[in-house]
Structure 1
Amino acid sequence: MNEQASPEKQPEKQVTEFSRMVDLRQITDAPLVLEPDEAERRRLAARFGISAIHAMRAQVRLSVDGAIIRADGRLTAAIDQACAISGEDFPVAINEALHLRFVPETQVEAEPDEEIELSANDCDDIPYSGLTFDLGEAIAQSLALAIDPFAEGPLADKARAEHNLAGDPASGPFAALSALQKKD
């Protein structure tokens, strides 16, 4: 019987809309500026369910402490997103501090059923393996977290009034109680 060795499955590389790989051996004290091009901004907008990303810029300084890499800086973006009430697009400016921490995968792995406690610092740990990590994807995720999915634009109050979304307090669940209170 002639047995063939089955090739080991290689983990699939996840393709991201804004990938900027950083080699640990190339880290310097110089600040890094990351800006997606128009096509990357369009793909990120689609990924995050917003209308447009007109500009996005992250400036970070990397520091190394053993195998842990910190990225500290600022993320700015100009986006258009739909109002949660009216559905109309409106501009939003994002200006967020960035504090990212990249740690080797071996330091963040846990057993599947093992209960772990996280400190505030552990919540932002981003695992990496080998000698590189994807700073662009981490910044893209930071942008996603900065977008308010329930943001209301300038036409929100008008839309509430037109569609009676504000509710009429005279017909709400406490209207009967209010009427009884006035009789006393």
Structure 2
Amino acid sequence: MPPELTLPEFHRPVPLGTVGQAGRRLALEATPEECAALAGRLGILDLASLTASLQLLPEEGGSVRVEGRLVARLTQACVVSLDPVGQAVDEEIAFRLLPPGREPQDGPDDIDEIESPDGIADLGEALAELLALALDPYPRAPAAELPAEAGGAVTGGFAALAALRRKG
């Protein structure tokens, strides 16, 4: 029995052949259910909204350049207090969708390239990955303060030894 395929939480397939010579505009929006599933996958408290406005432009060789804006409202846990921290993501994005058989370039100045082995790109999954990269890795509530022992201060029985070491 073949393994069951699981679709990503925010699945928006686009066949590269449907872009056309003039290009194509798309507006994508995650449903509340998709947002909840993505929040679980990303390890955040809440994803209130995720939208993108995209322009798909055909390029030579069958690739498609995608440009647009990714906008999301979400809540992460503060790394100090675990209190909810509201975040907003509003970023310009650009990447290239590659036709079947084409390998991505991996240079530091190259635009991100996404393979489409069957000629169908999942724009929702691409946006989910871009959102993951845009998340604040250390969200912190405005009033959250680290405890003294976390700041590198030496306390307890070793404090006196540390003081002697500094004098010498």
Listed as ranges, the matches of 1:91-170 within 5 Å are 91-108=86-103, 118-120=106-108, 122=110, 124-157=112-145, 160-161=146-147, 164-168=149-153
Give deviations 1:12-61, integer Å, cap 9, x for gaps: 64410001011223225342111100000000000000000111111110
1:54 matched to which residue of 2? 48
Which of the two has higher C-alpha Rg?
1
Contact 2:23–2:58 (CA under 8 A) maintained in structure 1: no
Count of aligned positions: 162
Contact 2:16–2:99 (CA under 8 A) maintained in structure 1: no
**Equivalent residue letter for 1:91:** G
**Structure 1 residue 87 displacement after superposition:** 1.2
**SS of corresponding position for 1:165:** helix
Is 1:24 the counterpart of 2:16? The answer is: yes
**Structure 1 residue 104 displacement after superposition:** 2.8
Structure 2 alignment gaps of length 5 or more: none
Take 1:52 and 1:21, find their aligned partners in 2: how far apart are those partners? 25
TM-score normalised over the length of structure 2: 0.82
2:63 matched to which residue of 1? 68
**SS of corresponding position for 1:43:** helix
2:78 alignment partner, one of 83, 91, 94: 83
**Equivalent residue letter for 1:96:** E
Contact 2:94–2:111 (CA under 8 A) maintained in structure 1: no
**SS of corresponding position for 2:81:** coil
Contact 1:169–1:175 (CA under 8 A) maintained in structure 2: no
Take 1:122 and 1:172, find their aligned partners in 2: how far apart are those partners? 54
TM-score normalised over the length of structure 1: 0.76
1:4 matched to which residue of 2? none
2:27 alignment partner, one of 28, 33, 57: 33
Contact 1:70–1:102 (CA under 8 A) maintained in structure 2: yes
Give % identity: 31
Structure 1 alignment gaps of length 5 or more: 1-6, 110-116
Structure-2 change in CA distance of 1:123 and 1:72 (3 Å): closer
Question: In angstroms, what is the RMSD of aligned CA positions?
Answer: 2.7
Take 2:89 and 2:9, find their aligned partners in 1: how far apart are those partners? 19
